[in-house]
Amino acid sequence: MTIAEAQRTTGIYPQEKRTDGESTDHLSLDIAVVGAGIIGIMTALGLLYAGHKVTVYERADDYYEVGAAMAFTGVARECMKQLNPSVLEALQRVGEANRHPMNRYWDGFSPTSKEAAQSEESLLFQQSARELDYTGCLRSVYLREMAKSLPEGVVKFGKSLKSYSEETESVELRFADGSVAQADAVIACDGIHSRTRRLLLGENNPASRPSFTHKVAYRAIIPITDSIAALGDDKANNQCAHMGPDAHALSFPVAQWTLSNVFVFLHDPKPWPDPHKMTLEVTKSEMIPSLSKWSPSMRELVEKMPEQVFKWAIFDMADHPANAYARGRVCLAGDAAHASSPFHGAGACMGVEDALALVSVLDRALSKASGSSKAEVVGAALQAYSAVRLERTQWLVRSSREMGEIYEWRYPATGSDPAKIKAEIESRSRQIWDFHVDRMVAEANTECDRRLKRLGKEDPVGGDYPISLAS
């Protein structure tokens, strides 16, 4: 079957509202996104904005996000803007930036009084907040705010992927409820325990499953007034990190500075009993012995947490990274591809970059290919995405795990030396914020061109005009 001179579907915005300078007069694709989390919905919005038909398949019965809060860097927000302006606008409506111009790192262990803990003497070091330029938000609130921009019927709930197969004309997805769907391409954003990853890489492949980092987090959201009582007004109203031996804490305001999101991280040398059950509800007394010698402020902050808190086992893909994020017309994005620990605060940001890279290469492949089958064109685009994203995302996963050790004075090269810790964090953070979004897109497009040339059927003119793709 040949599809000739087809135009893109309208998507969320009229075609003329594209702002990247590219014509939208191309063939559109029918794309399945697996997973309706933050990155899944964001990717869907980007694809719709580019004019593709999109269906999102979510195994839960409603939108569901694990974790209380998250933050996005300035780089991630630039990606959002290019992906679909509604993605950034949703964040701006529900997010908040750090009020203090510096990210400050405090000694949470040594001070013997609350007064000492709030004094400059307990400040280990500080870094400019301008470069990373975080905007924080509640995960579930942001997810639902983004989802308001989706056309009705795009998300299909209660769809748990069981298997897929690549047929001549499409990818066939089979779900646990017995239903079947077809798509030109599949983008899996189904999280750290991705079913699609296991199908794509193989059930027996170690890279198909995450590993325990030997870090656990106790998290709770408390009234900002309680955080002020424990930490003081200045610390409570800004992002604040406290370091110490075998533990560290992070707190920052959310919900327009009415609530404080509090994480207490502990090193846990024991194996985690059940990798499929990463969260437990426990009493806060469980963490008290590990913090019994910490400063009065930190012990009081724990006391302000509710009696029952969530304990989160932190898993990532550092031990067994995937050697590719795409096979054929199926690819992985976000945590499904490169689940990270939270110690860089940039795991979700990598997923935003993924989404923009994916939309870009699919656009490029459709605009540059002529005479190739749809399967070949989609495959070339997804392989280009994988090649461009592997190095940066897997560096982030490794570095983030090491950052957890740095914060807890367990990293041999830095120990508890504030100057060495600061230098190490600055060096690593620079790789996150000193990143050119347009360069990433250009590199992805170049890689896509290279793979299309392998097919021997690249459009030599490179014109943006309607094309014929043989399915």
Q: Which residues are catalytic?
A: 219
- Please tell me the distance from the alpha carbon of residue 153 to that of residue 155, in angstroms, as a whole number: 6
Q: Is the dihedral of CA 259, 37, 7, 455 positive or negative?
A: positive
Residue type, 216: V
Using alpha carbons only, give the angle 355, 360, 362 rounded to the nearest 5 degrees.
Answer: 100
Rg over alpha carbons for the chain, rounded to the nearest Å, is 23
Helices 347-368 and 74-83 pack at an angle, to 10 degrees, of 30
β-strands 102-107, 240-244: how paired?
parallel
How is residue 63 written in tokens?
């939108």
Place of tokens 């009081």: 300
How is residue 78 written in tokens?
């630039």
Number of H helices, E strands in the chain: 14, 22
Beta strand residue intervals within 206-270, DSSP E: 211-223, 240-244, 247-254, 259-267
Q: Is the dihedral of CA 398, 399, 405, 411 positive or negative?
A: positive
